[in-house]
């Protein structure tokens, strides 16, 4: 069982990644605890379900503790109503890039318009292929954590930015 996650996160500039995707799956998830020091997530991904605990990210946000266990789908469905307000609904696309896999999440509902790519690495300073659809790096920026998107969805940021621009 792997207990350390080393991951980099990026915004996605366009939907060209969909042409490179070899698989995709709808994901619904909620948080029993969204405190960044110890998030506890319930996720339904297709016909599978998982309970995940993540620790606080180390400096830079690249590395953190992660424990995940597959649970019964019925158990996950029973746990979701107990989650904090603000569930996440997204489509996850898998894209192979050399020997790595990008997970690209296209968000729906209050997070519609946000597309984020993540890549898991073996070391924080590991080199990896960066496809042309990859945008700004947002590793360590808490507002892009799924646990925070449930509390403060993307639509609230864009509305706030539009109000600033119109003033």
3-class DSSP state for residue 158? helix
Q: Per-residue b/e over 91-110, b at no fewer than 16 CB within 10 Å? A: bbbebeeeeeebbbbbbeeb
User: Mind spelling out the 3-state secondary structure of 98-125?
Assistant: CCEEEEEEEECHHHCCCEEEEEECCCCC
The label of the residue with tokens 């319930």 reads 42
Set 31, 93, 102, 144: catalytic member = 31
**Rounded distance between C-alpha atoms, residue 158 and residue 7, angstroms:** 26
60 in the Ramachandran plot: left (φ > 0), alpha (ψ -120 to 50) or beta?
left
The reply to whether 31 belongs to the active site is yes
CB 9 within 8 A of CB 135: no
Give, as one character, the DSSP assignment of residue 84.
P
Distance CA 133, CA 15 (A): 7
Active-site positions? 31
């Amino acid at each position: 069982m792997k207990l350390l996650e080393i991951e980099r996160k990026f915004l996605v500039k366009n939907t060209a990644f969909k042409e490179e995707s070899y698989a995709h799956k709808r994901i619904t998830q909620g948080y029993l605890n969204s405190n960044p020091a110890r998030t506890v997530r319930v996720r339904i991904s297709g016909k599978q379900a998982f309970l995940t605990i993540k620790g606080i990210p180390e400096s830079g946000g690249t590395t953190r503790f992660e424990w995940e266990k597959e649970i019964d789908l019925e158990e996950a469905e029973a746990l979701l109503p107990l989650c904090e307000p603000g569930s996440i609904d997204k489509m996850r696309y898998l894209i192979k890039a050399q020997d790595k896999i990008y997970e690209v999440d296209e968000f729906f509902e209050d997070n519609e318009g946000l597309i984020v790519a993540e890549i898991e690495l073996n070391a924080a300073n590991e080199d990896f292929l960066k496809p042309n659809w990859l945008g700004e790096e947002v590793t360590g920026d808490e507002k892009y954590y799924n646990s925070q998107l449930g509390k403060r969805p993307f639509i609230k940021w864009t509305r706030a930015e539009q109000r600033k621009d119109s003033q």
